[in-house]
Amino acid sequence: MRRISALILLVFLLACDNDNERRNPFLQEINFRFDLNLNLPLYSPLTNPGNAVYVNSQGVGTRGVFVMNTGFDIFRAFEASCPNHAPNSCSTMTIEGQNAICSCENFEYSLFTGQQLDRPDDGSRYYDMLEYRATLSGGSVVISN
């Protein structure tokens, strides 16, 4: 019986996920919810696949959120603060086409996937964009964390 208990304990310990290894130390994950009404002119570009908008409303993300229509009514939302350093005066990224650019180091990220496109091969740890939940609900896209 002792062996079975030890085996079960071992299985539970090995099944635990250490989220600290993947967690971005530069960005805090804050709780929020924001509805983007696609009928408003500010968000109407999201009615077409391949378009992205920057949402800079108080309490939405750390430095705002980029929302991208990836097609087939699928939306992706990413933190607008560069994921590879602490938020500062140059860390709010900008949209250039279908990518986000960090003006601090000129790092480039895909708004389709959130992945860094020009990751240096210098042995350092680099992070992809922090993604938020984006759900189409009627004529609105609900962004939340």
What is the strand order of the sheet 65-71 is part of?
33-37, 140-144, 131-137, 74-79, 65-71, 52-55
Residue the block writes with tokens 């002792």: 2
- pLDDT tens-digit readout, 55-73: 999 999 999 999 999 999 9
pLDDT of amino acid 19: 44
Predicted local distance difference test score (pLDDT) of residue 4? 61
Confidence category of residue 5, pLDDT binned at 50, 70, 90: low
With contact defined as beta carbons under 8 Å apart, do 129 and 102 qualify? no
> Considering only 43-47, 121-125, 129-133, which range has the smallest mean pLDDT?
121-125
Mean pLDDT of 3-17: 56
Q: What is the dihedral of CA 23, 110, 36, 130, to 10 degrees?
A: 10
Rounded to whole angstroms, how far apart are CA atoms 110 and 26? 19
Sequence ranges of the domains in the chain: 26-144
| Mean pLDDT confidence for 121-126 | 92
Decide if pLDDT at 134 tops 50: yes
Tokens at 114, concatenated: 């959130």
* CATH homologous superfamily, domain 26-144: Rieske [2Fe-2S] iron-sulphur domain (2.102.10.10)
pTM of the model: 0.84
The CA angle 74-78-81, to the nearest 5 degrees, is 165
pLDDT of residue 30: 87
